[in-house]
Amino acid sequence: MRRLEEVIEGTRLVLQQGDITRQEVEAIVNAANPQLTPGGGVSGAIHRAGGPEVTQAAAAIRRQRGPLPTGEAVITPGGNLPAKWVIHTVGPVWRGGGKGEPELLAKAYRSCLDLAVSKGIKSIAFPSISTGVYGYPVERAARVALAAIPDFLREHPGALAEVRMVLFSAEDFEAYRRAWEELSG
């Protein structure tokens, strides 16, 4: 299996190829739409595997607080998933890179990590937010994710035991691996 691991300020940062719905961590992150409906891609897979508990809790949040702004995050139970929680965030739609996309993508990662820490969650797995339907080029998204996560870990030493990036395809894993190697110099 493709896997890389590094320890940053007491937290394991793991890069691996896999299916996020199968991860045995406390929380998995969903690349959601603002309406928090199942949608396709990773979101469809998470709602299918989690079942009605996830979809109904997401719908209740949507009714209560309206559409989720890009870069923000909310939490629901994980239903039938191995993960106890799903943290739903909305990544930016790629519009060429000049519309604040990198900042919004970094904010999405940070919001999920902040929410996890505030709930006492110790292990979290992310998919590659925005790089499917939302069209964010994976090489660029990888650099944003692999800068934002270590920045957070350095600011919150020991707050989390493990942060895992789970890439669905071998190509995406390779893009993240290249960014990982570039950024760790």
3 state DSSP class of 109? helix
- What is the nearest approach in angstroms of ligand APR to the Cβ of residue 82? 13
The contact pattern for ligand APR, residues 136-175, with x = CB under 6 A and - = no contact, is ------------------------------x-xx--x---
Residues 24-43 that bind ligand APR (CB under 6 A): 31, 33, 39-43
- What is the nearest approach in angstroms of ligand APR to the Cβ of residue 128? 4
Between 87 and 159, CB nearer to ligand APR: 87
CA distances for 174 relative to 106, 135, 167, angstroms = 20, 18, 9
Between 35 and 117, CB nearer to ligand APR: 35
> 18 near 127, Cβ under 8 Å?
no
> 34 near 90, Cβ under 8 Å?
yes
> 154 near 9, Cβ under 8 Å?
yes
